[in-house]
Amino acid sequence: MKKIWQLMVVALMLFCLSAQGKAPKREFRGAWIQCVNGQYLGKGASEIRSMLSRQLDILAASHVNAIFFQVRAECDALYASRYEPWSRYLSGEQGRGMADGWDPLAWMIRECHARGMECHAWINPYRAKTKGTTALAQNHVAVRHPERVFQYGDLLILNPALEENRYYTCMVVEDILERYDVDGIHMDDYFYPYPAAGQTIPDANYFAQSPRGFKDIGDWRRDNVNQLIKELHALIKDVKPWVKFGISPFGIYRNDPSGKNTAYGSATRGLQNYDDLYADVLLWEREGWVDYLIPQVYWNFGTAAADYEVLCRWWNDRCGKRLLIIGEDVERTAKGVDPQSPNQNQTAAKYNLLARLKNVSGTCQWYAASFCENVGNYRGYLQSTYFKRPALQPKMTWKGKGKPGKVKQVRLRGNRLEWTAPKGTKWTKAAKWYAVYAVPAGSRLDHESADQLLTVTSANAVLIPQEYLGYTFYVSALNRLQDEGKAVKAK
């Protein structure tokens, strides 16, 4: 009996290892590149480009497939905006761009696409001035329309109660959509300001004048934010229906410290989206106003006020209609001790947990530079395990139906694999990306996993690494959502 039990245990272990070794075909792997940490200040355009190019090279080699590039931190712009001044986080002075006329967003889109990665423009919807900003440009909205902002500590905030501010934010987003080939519009966790001691949101008079049927000012504030999210979703769908709209809320939706009413909130004690930031995140997901959520679950296993596993399981159980992606704090994870294995950090434990949660579609790294620096071998671990192979973007069937036709004239000339795009003018049928597969001699194409996926590219040709020469190659076309056409074998 003991021997039979041992054999069963061995068989189970082999099964688990086999399942773990099958690389997922589709998984979201993002990274945030921020401006508010001042990483660009004091540098020229060429120096910034060199720094970002290095980061993008490392991220692409690590099979990260989406970049969130911060382009609007305080009603300013890291792109050639029609409405807002150049950001001081770029040049050191609000309203002044780079000497060579560099447009960071246009450059970042090209560089991401050249490496097979999506580029999402990351904006803040309400913040008009941060603590360190001492001078505003003459064309800044707070200078032109001081009546539309309010002071909160060291911040200036676009008042979410005002319809003209919603219209203005939508106008800014429409400008980005019309002039830049972004793959997504992304917003972070700043809606109403984070509560600060001694500060009061000065909107009671607006609530008294136009309560819109609400008796509680908190419900009214949440509705103010809801209207913006709904309008942005409708705008993006109308202008460019393939562009993804996503939000990375604070990691706690609502607290239920007792842990008995998970429908209300998580067993946590911390800042709350719903009650403190007036962000009803689950409503947005339920109504389909967002395409993805990336809750910032930046805590570790064992954090008393907000345990990582408690929060990941809570979000997993509450979401499922749209993509759920977990926001990871690289440094905190790499410096945290795994409670089950005190000789290692928490990286492996966290990713092993996420692999078991059915509604989690991937992760996003806070932040790109720390991921590239490989703190605590965080990146090295992922490259050797969960990020070992490339991955396509998770499907978003609600955004559009259709897929490209077959690529044509797939040929291998020496170590250069090349092909011709399929015909297709409608965005659901047109090729934007290509998936290249390398199949070992004597094997068949495995179309269900990423085990044979060599690369994802926006080009019509790739150079084959020496170690793959002798393999059989297949190429398939992907549309803007990376819905895949039939793979064609190279001649």
77 secondary structure, DSSP code = B
Strand order in the sheet with 127-129: 127-129, 155-158, 149-152
**pLDDT over 60 at 173, yes or no:** yes
Structural domains in the chain, CATH included, are 26-398 (3.20.20.80), 400-489 (2.60.40.10)
393-442 pLDDT, tens digit per residue, is 999 999 999 999 999 999 999 999 999 999 998 999 999 999 999 999 99
**pLDDT over 50 at 466, yes or no:** yes
Instruction: Report the pLDDT value the prediction gives residue 259, as an integer from 0 to 100.
Output: 87
User: Pairing relation of β-strands 66-72 and 118-123?
Assistant: parallel
22-77 pLDDT, tens digit per residue, is 899 999 999 999 999 999 999 999 999 999 999 999 999 999 999 999 999 999 99
Which amino acid appears at position 31 of this protein?
A
SS3 157: strand
How much is the CA Rg of the chain, to the nearest whole Å? 24
301-356 pLDDT, tens digit per residue, is 999 999 999 999 999 999 999 999 999 999 999 999 999 999 999 999 999 999 99
Residue 160 confidence class, pLDDT cut points 50, 70, 90: very high
Instruction: Report the pLDDT value the prediction gives residue 16, as an integer from 0 to 100.
Output: 38
d(CA 33, CA 16): 35
Instruction: Report the pLDDT value the prediction gives residue 12, as an integer from 0 to 100.
Output: 35
81 secondary structure, DSSP code = -
d(CA 374, CA 93): 32
Lowest mean pLDDT among 7-11, 179-183, 269-273: 7-11
d(CA 357, CA 34): 29
95-128 pLDDT, tens digit per residue, is 999 999 999 999 999 999 999 999 999 999 999 9
Nearest to 244 by CA among 482, 485, 488, 74: 482
d(CA 486, CA 488): 6
Instruction: Report the pLDDT value the prediction gives residue 7, as an integer from 0 to 100.
Output: 34
Question: What mean pLDDT value characterizes the chain?
Answer: 95
Q: What is the SS3 assignment for 304-352?
A: CCCCHHHHHHHHHHHCCCCEEEEEEEHHHHHHCEECCEEEEECHHHHHH
Whether 246 and 120 have beta carbons less than 8 Å apart is answered as yes
Instruction: Report the pLDDT value the prediction gives residue 21, as an integer from 0 to 100.
Output: 62
d(CA 193, CA 153): 10
d(CA 268, CA 306): 5
Instruction: Report the pLDDT value the prediction gives residue 5, as an integer from 0 to 100.
Output: 35
Whether 29 and 363 have beta carbons less than 8 Å apart is answered as yes
Sign of the alpha-carbon dihedral angle for 383, 388, 390, 393: negative
| Residue range 464-480: mean pLDDT, rounded | 96
